[in-house]
């Protein structure tokens, strides 16, 4: 069991404890004013009180912490112009400075972080100082926001207030932790005072015997002078002065110096002090209020001796709102421009201006793409976007990451772009196959639900809005079983329908509602979408809005047909489905299912790395009982269709008018 209790300021904790002693019914709000939040030894700034409130009320919460930064004008060297620099003087708790600087350098070198010209560490004994020089055209606020998102300059402290209470591990809110500590200290002081009382009474008993013996000094000497041995003397002392065994032993062991008048006075003083101390201890043990007063006195003594000023600032809600609005204005002013994103077969992403993309389309339209030809950096997806929007990337292991469209480098039309996986955290790896899909989080898309389908047929529905503003670590979108992976993703709304196809040519169609597909939490696995036969796999899913829609089915042998949705039985999730594609060859199987919007095409890629773009309208409508579909292209011996992607149709007529602008780029 994991526990991760954040450090706090001693003065604030003592104030909270004393307040609970004086007012056990103190409200949570009043207690949180006395202890406003954790206080990390490395300083920093807590930017959201929600995580603190969650941790203090439930015992668990995620507390976002930022480093402390400021902007300065620095001169890089003699004869060079002054530049704006971000000065970092404090880092979040448990962030290693050297590792953080190395992380920034890697991001800059891999073109994942723009606007930084140089970084150097000027820390000394006076404190930390890391200088991040910016390029002249860079916006400091934009770079700083990227540092917050992509580096540990901002991270989350996961507070888990787990402790052993009465021998049992419990996750405790702040009030219960403080009360448990007070109960513990009260019990400890009670045991301590009882032990002190026993020792005091034992010593008082001995001193009382010594004083009684010394008050009768002549008789004491006479007894000792005539006693033949120690045992006889001990018995005589007990009889003469009313002493017990311990007292008489101490009298016999008393050195001669105790017979002096000064020593006798010291014994009288000690007796008086012991009597007063005994009475004080008895009073503390009898009266709980007096015991709690002593506990408060002890706490104040600790505060006076060890307290220091708070180091971690807590950002107020007004400050946070103002910062958010200012950043939004800056991003809107400098980043909101229209762009076009292209995603290629080899996992690269390219960003173009709309004008450059039109010229690129004009050049491509001059070539006949319907016949199979060697596939070279084939574009599989085109997405219009705005630089301020976010791109959601889902990986095959069920993780979700977001990155700002403006952080994707802009390229000229001949460049192949940058690997999309290279823009994600290092934990994703370097293999392009690690990415399952990607989509731009537009306002229209955010009104939809995300439908995720795994290779083994598990299906899950989550609101797309839950994937906004993710941290650099990303989050778990779907929990996967061993040997399973996220394979297909589509957007849909409630009351629409979903069709799922298998490699055996079966289709299952069901309504997207709370009975068939309820909205689930991010870490859920999801139910089984349909029953799979042996050697059968899921090949895709499509959203259905109307019964007049068609779905496009493509087989590995190169056959395809457009199947009207009305020909597919509307059933319930988890069924066996309907046989929708009959194969002419026993070795054939279904490889893809896609929607059939007008003015769109499918791009097929074969096992021999050849590709072709075929308009959807070229594929005839056929029923589910048709034996063979329309042959897309003639394949070579042993060649099969590997992947099918719905793409934008390159229109020669509409694109040709832009060719004359080609020389301007």
Whether residue 438 is found in the same domain as residue 489? yes
**23 pLDDT higher than 80:** yes
Highest mean pLDDT: which range of 6-20, 458-472, 529-543: 6-20
| Domain extent for 106 | 68-152
Whether residue 623 is found in the same domain as residue 477? yes
Whether residue 282 is found in the same domain as residue 351? no
Whether residue 504 is found in the same domain as residue 631? yes
Residue pLDDT, tens place only, 418-459 = 888 888 887 787 787 888 899 998 888 888 889 999 988 899
| Residues contacting 279, CB < 8 A, separation 6+ | none
Note whether residue 19 is domain-resident.
no
Question: Domain end: 97, 120, 152, which one?
Answer: 152
Note whether residue 174 is domain-resident.
no
Whether residue 355 is found in the same domain as residue 415? yes
Question: Domain end: 99, 119, 152, which one?
Answer: 152
Note whether residue 323 is domain-resident.
no
CATH code (residue 139): 3.30.1360.40
Q: What is the pLDDT of residue 660?
A: 35
The pTM assigned to this predicted structure is 0.58
**648 pLDDT higher than 80:** no
Whether residue 279 is found in the same domain as residue 341? no
Whether residue 127 is found in the same domain as residue 240? no
Q: What is the pLDDT of residue 420?
A: 87
Mean pLDDT of 512-518: 88
Q: What does the chain come to in residues?
A: 665
The total number of structural domains that make up the chain: 3
Residue pLDDT, tens place only, 559-572 = 898 888 888 888 89
Q: What is the pLDDT of residue 342?
A: 86
Mean pLDDT of 525-539: 87
Q: What is the pLDDT of residue 370?
A: 66
Whether residue 592 is found in the same domain as residue 477? yes
Whether residue 465 is found in the same domain as residue 582? yes
**71 pLDDT higher than 70:** yes
Note whether residue 165 is domain-resident.
no
Mean pLDDT of 251-268: 85
Residue pLDDT, tens place only, 585-628 = 888 899 999 888 877 888 888 888 888 888 888 888 888 777 66
Mean pLDDT of 625-635: 78
Note whether residue 110 is domain-resident.
yes
Residue pLDDT, tens place only, 120-166 = 999 999 899 999 999 877 888 888 988 998 899 999 999 999 999 98
Q: What is the pLDDT of residue 665?
A: 31
**664 pLDDT higher than 50:** no
Question: Domain end: 286, 316, 349, which one?
Answer: 286
Whether residue 536 is found in the same domain as residue 613? yes
CATH code (residue 199): 1.10.268.10
Whether residue 422 is found in the same domain as residue 481? yes
Element (H, E) at 555: strand 550-555
For Cα atoms 434, 435, 441, give the angle at the middle one, nearest 5 degrees: 155
CATH code (residue 387): 2.120.10.90
| DSSP assigned state of 216 | T
Note whether residue 53 is domain-resident.
no
Q: With b meaning 16 or more CB within 10 Å and e meaning fewer, what string describes 35-64?
A: bbbbbbebbbbbbbbebbbbbbeebbbbbb
Note whether residue 92 is domain-resident.
yes
Note whether residue 468 is domain-resident.
yes
| Residues contacting 160, CB < 8 A, separation 6+ | 2, 3, 4, 5, 59, 60, 171
* Under 8 Å between Cβ of 140 and 102: no
Whether residue 548 is found in the same domain as residue 627? yes
Residue pLDDT, tens place only, 482-506 = 888 998 999 988 888 999 999 998 9
């Amino acid at each position: 069991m994991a526990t991760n209790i954040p450090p706090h300021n001693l003065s604030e904790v003592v104030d909270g404890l004393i307040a609970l002693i004086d007012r056990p019914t103190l409200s949570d709000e009043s207690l949180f004013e006395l202890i406003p939040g954790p206080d990390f030894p490395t300083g920093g700034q807590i930017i959201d009180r929600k995580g603190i409130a969650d941790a203090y009320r439930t015992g668990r919460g995620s507390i976002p912490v930022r480093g402390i930064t400021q902007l300065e004008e620095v001169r890089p060297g003699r004869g060079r112009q002054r530049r704006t620099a971000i000065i970092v003087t404090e880092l979040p708790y448990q962030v290693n400075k050297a590792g953080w600087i190395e992380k920034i350098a890697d991001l800059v070198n891999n073109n994942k972080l723009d606007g930084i010209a140089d970084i150097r560490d000027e820390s000394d004994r006076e404190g930390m100082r890391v200088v991040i020089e910016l390029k002249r055209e860079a916006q400091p606020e934009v770079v700083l926001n990227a540092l917050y998102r992509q580096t540990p300059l901002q991270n989350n402290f996961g507070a888990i207030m787990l402790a052993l209470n009465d021998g049992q591990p419990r996750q405790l809110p702040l009030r219960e932790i403080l009360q448990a500590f007070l109960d513990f200290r009260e019990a400890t002081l009670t045991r301590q005072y009882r032990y002190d009382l026993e020792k005091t009474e034992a010593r008082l008993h001995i001193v009382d015997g010594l004083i009684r013996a010394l008050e009768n000094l002549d008789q004491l000497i006479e007894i000792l002078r005539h006693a033949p041995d120690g045992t006889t003397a001990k018995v005589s002392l007990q009889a003469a002065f009313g002493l017990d065994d311990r007292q008489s032993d101490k009298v016999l062991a008393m050195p001669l110096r105790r017979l002096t008048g000064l020593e006798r006075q010291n014994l009288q003083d000690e007796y008086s002090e012991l009597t007063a101390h005994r009475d004080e201890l008895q009073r503390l043990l009898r009266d709980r209020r007096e015991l709690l007063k002593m506990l408060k006195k002890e706490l104040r003594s600790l505060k006076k001796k060890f307290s220091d000023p708070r180091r971690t600032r807590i950002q107020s809600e007004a400050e946070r709102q103002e910062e958010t609005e200012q950043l939004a204005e800056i991003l809107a002013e400098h980043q909101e421009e229209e762009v076009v994103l292209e995603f290629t077969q080899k996992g690269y992403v390219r960003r173009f201006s709309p004008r450059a993309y039109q010229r690129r389309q004009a050049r491509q339209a001059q070539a006949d793409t319907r016949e199979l030809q060697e596939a070279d950096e084939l574009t599989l997806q085109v997405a219009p976007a705005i630089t301020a929007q976010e791109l959601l990337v889902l990986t095959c292991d069920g993780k979700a990451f977001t990155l700002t469209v403006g952080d994707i480098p802009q390229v000229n039309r001949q460049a192949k772009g940058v690997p999309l996986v290279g823009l994600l955290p290092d934990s994703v790896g370097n293999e392009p196959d690690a990415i399952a899909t990607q989509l731009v989080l537009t306002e229209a898309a955010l009104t939809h639900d995300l439908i995720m389908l795994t290779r083994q047929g598990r299906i899950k529905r989550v609101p797309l809005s839950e994937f906004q503003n993710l941290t650099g670590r990303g989050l778990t979108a779907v929990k996967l079983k061993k040997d399973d992976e996220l394979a297909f993703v589509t957007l849909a709304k409630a009351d629409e329908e979903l069709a799922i196809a298998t490699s055996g040519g079966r289709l299952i169609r069901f309504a997207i509602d709370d009975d068939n597909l309820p909205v689930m939490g991010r870490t859920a696995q999801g139910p089984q979408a349909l029953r799979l036969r042996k050697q059968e796999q899921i090949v895709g899913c499509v959203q259905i809005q109307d019964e007049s829609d068609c779905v496009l089915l493509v087989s590995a042998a190169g056959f395809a047909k457009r199947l009207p949705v009305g020909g597919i039985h509307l059933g319930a999730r988890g069924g066996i489905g309907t046989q929708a594609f009959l194969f002419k060859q026993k070795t054939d199987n279904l490889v893809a299912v896609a929607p059939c919007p007008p003015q769109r095409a499918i791009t097929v890629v074969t096992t021999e790395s050849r590709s072709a773009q075929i308009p959807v309208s070229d594929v005839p409508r056929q029923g589910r009982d048709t034996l063979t579909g329309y042959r897309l292209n003639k394949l070579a011996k042993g060649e099969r269709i590997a992947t099918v992607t719905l793409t934008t149709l390159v229109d020669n007529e509409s694109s040709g008018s832009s060719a004359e602008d080609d020389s301007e780029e």
